[in-house]
């Protein structure tokens, strides 16, 4: 009995698979759509940090600062429901001296987030935040309350744009567009669906007239069969 080398058998099977592959003709296109809309509110995130020689004292000082800050924010028109606060973090700050780590102080800190629904009050809000040296502004973005619905509109437009582009290309090449083979959304946050839409903030030249806008965009890649 003649023994056939395993590699020869593998090559035969591989070639058979290649021959069996159908001649699939397809066309790939990209569709995009975006809309720049007036912002409806601003979302602000801040970090508040207090230090002291004793950890308990830093915690007490932090609570005092938070109480004063939240009181001023509420007086300015921010509702308590629009303010959220993270768990308080505590630890120690060190510095290096002569290749030795020296304890400087203990700290207590937290992240606070709140929405400003009246954009006309933004300058006053920033003035309040500027009073506290313990505060660092982490982020400040413009948002809309109807973002989800607006995103669906842009996604629909992007899909329609992809279809029209594919039909145009097929017509020019003298072929007929078939069924959809595959649809992929373009994402900028490691594949999460929410990242399909770019939500950007833009400051205007005259903030006392227009405080900003929100750009919502969608991009899709679509593959069609060609008949």
Last residue of a domain, one of 143, 170, 190: 143
pTM above the 0.85 mark?
Answer: no
Which structural domain, as residue segments, surrounds residue 195?
Answer: 22-38+146-226
Last residue of a domain, one of 93, 128, 143: 143
Indicate the Cα dihedral angle 92, 95, 96, 101, nearest 10°. -20
Looking up residue 168, the CATH number of its domain turns out to be: 3.30.110.170
Structure confidence by residue, pLDDT tens digits, 22-44: 667 899 999 999 999 999 999 99
14 within domain boundaries: no
Q: How far apart are the first and last CA of the chain?
A: 49
Residue stretches of the chain with pLDDT short of 50: 9, 188-210
- d(C-alpha 150, C-alpha 33), whole Å: 11
Q: Residues near 157 by Cβ (< 8 Å), separated by ≥ 6?
A: 31, 33, 218
Looking up residue 136, the CATH number of its domain turns out to be: 3.30.70.2970
CB 105 within 8 A of CB 92: yes
Both 153 and 185 in one domain: the answer is: yes
Structurally, how many domains does the chain consist of? 2
Q: Residues near 189 by Cβ (< 8 Å), separated by ≥ 6?
A: 195
CA distances from 90 to 11, 69, 106, 135 (A): 64, 20, 7, 16
Both 76 and 120 in one domain: the answer is: yes
pLDDT at position 188 is 46
Both 136 and 150 in one domain: the answer is: no
Structure confidence by residue, pLDDT tens digits, 117-130: 999 999 999 999 99
Last residue of a domain, one of 143, 172, 197: 143
129 within domain boundaries: yes
94 within domain boundaries: yes
């Amino acid at each position: 009995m003649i023994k056939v080398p395993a590699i020869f058998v593998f090559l035969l099977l591989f070639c058979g698979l290649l021959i069996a592959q159908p001649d699939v003709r397809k066309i790939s296109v990209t569709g995009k759509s975006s809309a720049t809309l007036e912002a409806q509110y601003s979302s602000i995130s801040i970090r508040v940090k207090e230090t002291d020689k004793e950890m308990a004292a830093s915690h007490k000082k932090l609570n005092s600062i938070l109480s004063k800050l939240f009181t001023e924010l509420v007086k300015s028109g921010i509702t308590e429901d629009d303010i959220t606060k993270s768990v308080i973090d505590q630890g120690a700050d060190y510095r290096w001296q002569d290749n030795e780590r020296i304890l400087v102080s203990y700290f207590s800190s937290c992240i606070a987030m709140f929405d400003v629904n009246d954009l006309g009050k933004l300058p006053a809000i920033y003035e309040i935040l500027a009073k506290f040296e313990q505060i660092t502004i982490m982020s400040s973005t413009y948002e809309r309350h109807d973002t989800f619905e607006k995103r669906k509109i842009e996604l629909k437009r992007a899909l329609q744009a992809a279809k029209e582009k594919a039909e145009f290309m097929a017509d020019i090449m003298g072929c007929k567009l078939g069924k959809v083979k595959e649809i992929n959304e373009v994402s900028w946050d490691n594949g999460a669906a929410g990242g399909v839409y770019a939500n950007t903030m833009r400051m205007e030249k005259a903030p006392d007239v227009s405080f900003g806008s929100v750009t919502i965009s969608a991009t899709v890649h679509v593959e069609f069969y060609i008949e």
